[in-house]
Amino acid sequence: MSTNDKFSNGVFRSGAPVILLGAGAVTAQDLDAIRRLGSSLVAADGGAGTALEHGLTPDLVIGDFDSLPHFATERLTPEAFFHVAEQDSTDFEKCLSRIEAPLILAFGFTGRRIDHQLSVMNVLVRHPDRRCLVLGSDDVVFHAPRHFAPDLAPGTRFSLFPLRPVRGRSEGLRWPIAGIDFAPGGRVGTSNEVTGPVHLEFDGDGMLIILPRGVLPEVLAALAPHG
């Protein structure tokens, strides 16, 4: 935990991006990214075991601890654990709602159970004030900001998936989105494609953007605060 990080009143506050690690599948690519970023590390319940097994020490563990391995409690100090007993939210939501940071990079929340992955996507939409990127082995998914202008190469896959009714406008996509009523159970925007400089605007919250994992640097640059 850096000197700019603080955990108080049940909230972890950081002036730098925070890594959030779940108990799902993580790859060598994930672990390399976590180590390179060098940010504070928060584990979601059993994610503490995943971290320790790979030589990473969480600064904080948040969850109901129903999947916390016994060895984690032996190797971490009591101050590293924040227990949230209620069962109305997932461990991912327990963490996301208690982290205040300019960006959260979430690893270990994809790849095993579809119901867990769908729950994660639902939480992203219900907490649009938390800027969080969920990284899988092939994709990065995040809640769309109202304005988004990444520098992406032509031919890049660009998928849009609504979890609420939402409308928007686009430049630089093969199939423009203006005039389309996106909605869950209705129109979605799978496998669109970049053709030139991209600029998107959305009229409200509720849209997920899904891009190839390889364009993460461009996504981070586009989401970075300016000015």
Number of domains in the chain: 2
Q: Which pLDDT does position 88 carry in this prediction?
A: 80
Task: Clarify whether residues 170 and 209 are in a common domain.
Answer: yes
The CB density around residue 198, as the number of other CB atoms within 10 Å, is: 20
Task: Clarify whether residues 183 and 97 are in a common domain.
Answer: no
Domain that holds residue 167: 147-216
Task: Clarify whether residues 22 and 112 are in a common domain.
Answer: yes
**Within a domain: residue 15?**
yes
Count of residues for the chain? 227
**Within a domain: residue 226?**
no
Task: Clarify whether residues 163 and 191 are in a common domain.
Answer: yes
Work out the mean pLDDT of the chain and round it to a whole number. 92
Task: Clarify whether residues 133 and 152 are in a common domain.
Answer: no
User: Tens digits of per-residue pLDDT, 151-208?
Assistant: 999 999 999 999 999 999 999 999 999 999 999 999 999 999 999 999 999 999 999 9
Task: Clarify whether residues 90 and 70 are in a common domain.
Answer: yes
User: Tens digits of per-residue pLDDT, 18-64?
Assistant: 999 999 889 889 999 999 887 899 999 999 999 999 999 999 999 99
The domain that contains 164 carries what CATH number?
A: 2.60.120.320
Asked if the model's pLDDT at residue 1 lies above 60, the reply is: no
Q: What percent of the chain has pLDDT over 90?
A: 80
pTM score: 0.92
Asked if the model's pLDDT at residue 128 lies above 90, the reply is: yes
| DSSP calls for 23-51 | SS---HHHHHHHHHH--EEEEETTHHHHH
